[in-house]
Structure 1
């Protein structure tokens, strides 16, 4: 392999692994679960399906997530901005400057 091919592969892998934000700890264990059972478990943990695009809101923790499904299983759960769940939030969220290294569960409303 040429050095250009190796560099391209390394860059591609970096972007592929950074595509999804870290799953919130309260639902991280559902990654890999079958979608129908995982949906029931999301509800049991306080999440509400907010209608469309596999977007879920937890009013208790003020966390909005998007569930990524592949072949009938949860392949990833990404925390996204509260606005994606229809939440405006009257207070401004303080997000760390480098979200790629941040624990987004500790910073609700922040996303990559």
Structure 2
């Protein structure tokens, strides 16, 4: 029994910290959802895909999250530092500086 508990504790400690982080309340219900539908739902809730690494920014709530996908489903949503979404460091928007060449589908909260 002690051996099993030790193995379980070691496995838990080896998980990345991000998977143990709590999801923001406004999108916590999307954990387990199919990725394509959940992506649309993220957008409808004010999140913008800031390009790469499944990182999303919500300007209204000033929330930056990283979405973890496993087997086509959202397996976890971790709140991360705003700087990971391009906030702070002199940047005020997740939108590209030159929208004339940007793929606006990837930046639905941005406009020309």
TM-score, normalised via structure 1 length: 0.70
Q: Between Structure 1 and Structure 2, how many residues are aligned?
A: 89
> What whole-Å deviation, never above 9, does each CA across 1:10-61 have from its counterpart, x for those lacking one?
2322443854210000000000111111000000000000000000000000
CA radius of gyration, larger in = 2
Q: Cα–Cα, structure 1 residues 46 and 22, in superposed 2: closer, same or farther, change >3 Å?
A: same
Residue 35 of structure 1 pairs with residue 35 of structure 2:
yes
Q: Cα–Cα, structure 1 residues 7 and 81, in superposed 2: closer, same or farther, change >3 Å?
A: same
* Distance across 1 between alignment mates of 2:75 and 2:85: 20
Specify the alignment match of 1:46 in structure 2. Answer: 46
- Structure 2 portions without partners, runs of 5+: 91-112
> What whole-Å deviation, never above 9, does each CA across 1:75-110 have from its counterpart, x for those lacking one?
0000000000000078xxxxxxxxxxxxxxxxxxxx
RMSD, aligned α-carbons: 2.2
Specify the alignment match of 2:8 in structure 1. Answer: 9
- Structure 1 portions without partners, runs of 5+: 91-112
TM-score, normalised via structure 2 length: 0.70
* Distance across 2 between alignment mates of 1:40 and 1:75: 16
